[in-house]
């Protein structure tokens, strides 16, 4: 291995309160810390933990293609790794969920012979399951990015839990400071979901709470009203399952163990 290393870590969804012990250690002991988080409290906490802390948020620009921004993040990170320093990059939530620059930086660093890895964090999905109180293990669950779900006609089972990410930015590739990037996308999403669910089926628009003790954003409403919901780019949609299918008696007999 070359001298120099890279660790991508997650800070969770709540202000500095969901950082794991191993992520905290990587943050504190890094020669250089970069970060991209969604609240000023976590940013301040990171800067307290490591005086080298530097935000990557300045690489975004109004109307700028996010793919260009992600490439610039990767280049910024690897330029420091190549100097032989131990680099840590902290992203909010889970660093492996919708964090393209984290995955790409690890791939390139390893390809160049540097030690590189990822430490998990608390994601929006983790908070959603806890706050809404459902168990995806009971009838299964499916997760899709909302644009991908629509554009690729993803096949899913409406009798399982359905979670759709980034419903406020459907079909948008550039960055905007507006809270909702594409209202028209919600209209299309509602129409597609209505092919599998009744229009009065209650769905939930969810946003994890960034600060304790404030509650999460939980908006329950009929599917037909989704285009008019208070959605932002931070919103995730949970579609509860339809009633379960009947058990196949022949398959049941086939798989049950003899007692």
Q: Which of the residues are catalytic?
A: 66, 70, 92
Backbone angles phi, psi at 178, to 5 degrees: -70, 145
| Residues 149/239, Cβ–Cβ less than 8 Å | no
| Residues 124/165, Cβ–Cβ less than 8 Å | yes
With the CA atoms of 81, 7, 176 and 55 taken in that order, what torsion angle do they form, in degrees rounded to the nearest 10? -60
Task: Quickly count: other Cβ atoms within 10 Å of residue 230's Cβ.
Answer: 12
* Alpha carbons 77 and 68: distance in angstroms, whole number: 14
Q: Which helix (H) or strand (E) holds 35?
A: strand 32-36
* Alpha carbons 76 and 88: distance in angstroms, whole number: 12
* Alpha carbons 84 and 89: distance in angstroms, whole number: 15
The two beta strands, 115-119 and 5-10, are parallel
Task: Quickly count: other Cβ atoms within 10 Å of residue 50's Cβ.
Answer: 19
Backbone angles phi, psi at 101, to 5 degrees: -65, -30
* Alpha carbons 154 and 165: distance in angstroms, whole number: 14
Q: Enumerate the β-bridge partners of residue 12.
A: 93
Q: What angle do CA 14, 126, 103 make, to 5 degrees?
A: 85
């Amino acid at each position: 291995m070359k001298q120099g290393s890279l660790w991508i870590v997650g800070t969770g969804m709540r202000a500095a309160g969901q950082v794991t012990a191993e992520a905290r250690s990587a943050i504190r002991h890094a020669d250089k810390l970069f970060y991209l988080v969604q609240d000023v409290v976590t940013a301040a906490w990171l800067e307290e933990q490591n005086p080298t802390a530097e935000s990557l948020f300045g690489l975004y620009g109004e109307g700028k293609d996010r793919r260009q921004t992600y490439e610039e993040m990767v280049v910024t990170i690897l330029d420091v790794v190549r100097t032989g320093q131990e680099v840590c990059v902290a992203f909010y939530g889970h660093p492996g969920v919708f964090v393209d620059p984290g995955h790409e930086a690890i791939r390139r660093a390893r390809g160049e012979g540097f030690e590189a890895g990822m430490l998990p964090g608390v994601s929006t999905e983790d908070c959603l399951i806890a706050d809404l109180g459902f168990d995806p293990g009971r009838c299964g669950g499916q997760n899709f990015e909302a644009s991908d779900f629509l554009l690729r006609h993803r096949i899913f089972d409406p009798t399982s839990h359905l979670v759709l990410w980034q419903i406020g930015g459907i079909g948008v590739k550039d960055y905007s400071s507006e809270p909702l990037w594409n209202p028209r996308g919600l209209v299309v999403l509602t129409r597609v979901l209505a092919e599998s669910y009744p229009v009065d089926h209650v769905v939930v628009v969810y946003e994890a709470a960034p600060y304790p003790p404030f509650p999460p954003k939980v908006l329950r409403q009929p599917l037909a009203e989704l285009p008019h919901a208070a959605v932002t780019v931070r919103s995730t949609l949970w579609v509860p399952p339809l009633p379960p299918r009947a058990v196949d008696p022949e398959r049941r007999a086939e798989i049950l163990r003899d007692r």
